[in-house]
Structure 1
């Protein structure tokens, strides 16, 4: 397309190398948009997956984004403008069984992005994109400790949809963008469930606070804890697990039962 391109091999888990990447980017004059994207995984029962593999997933999927932000946000501050885009995952809304560190990293990344959004001037925009499963070699490249061949649960979307979302957010920024119709629905359902449960617990708290007993605070705590437990079991965990994360759970369970047997292996490069 006639654009100048600079390729800089970088270990994104190394903060010094990321800072060098930012300096290289400044050779174009300014940095208008920074897209922070990495996704690695280790699939298997938590206790059967080496702790080193879990740590590597967290370093790549969470610390890498922090390295990016720590290096480029000072540039945005100096410029008084810039768009920082985190490519996260629908794993933020529906944890993936047997991908424990991956799920934890995506929940952490969402919190990190939200925290940044509250800190910076309106000219510095922090934006999130949440793709569904994308037609990319990610699943085949993960560290696999299940002993079975893995595949992504359908539907799987064209990677160009994510690229289109990045361009769209760069031109007309909004805080959160989802990619994939099923992902949009899942995000909405989980967000609505979370909001509903929080409102129910708040109502319970107000009701409990009206108790007039000698052990008021102890009664208040016991009442709310019991009610929270009931709502969490009856609504939160059931709906989130079956309605939002159920497709991952059932697909992985089928893979473990019926998938082609293979030797456990570390992530491919």
Structure 2
């Protein structure tokens, strides 16, 4: 069945040089192993013949890459990737970017902070990204490992302590709706890229250069709490039950990062998949992502 859908897509491809693709994996994952994004990279190369795919690795090995997804300061990672993408000669004409889980908000940070210093990002695809943060880590991602329990305990009790923010990646997008003021002033990453306290106009301008910003929410996600964060939704401040949509939120109503403009211009795309976190079929991905947004023409 997979080969059939690949074939049906290939017969539609018009000759030309495909737009390169950059991937950034999620927590507990790594760039290149066959049990990880290595297989997805091969899938893209098979479906889009001749495409260049850069699967971001933070560190000198896949093991370091996975560890850094927990313990390397998020801002340092973003700065490193900005330099990496600026120096990649195969991206000089522009590229599409696909983020997986936390890799989604990291790639958004790359666009916002470095969009005027790297080749143009055409389409930014967010697969299960936590753009308004998380409040809870059920199952701690896909890993059943002591590290996950350690991460969960730190977030529950000390997410906004200075050393935790700087030493634990997941703390930088921990969003406590019961204490918005502390989150806004002590989150060193998410609060900044969401312009929660100050408006950085460069962030707005760079994000609005995108051709499309595609947000994919997994309707049966058991990993991300709340799953609405994948569409920029989140809890109403002061409690943790009532959820606000993006369009009801301060970040949209005040257009603090440019999402309202993207939406009005038809560039903000909301998609959903019925599976659990990052669970989608080849058929779904070809139809909903590759054909409309990664087409090589």
Query: When you count helix as a share of all residues, which structure comes out higher?
Result: 1
TM-score, normalised via structure 2 length: 0.33
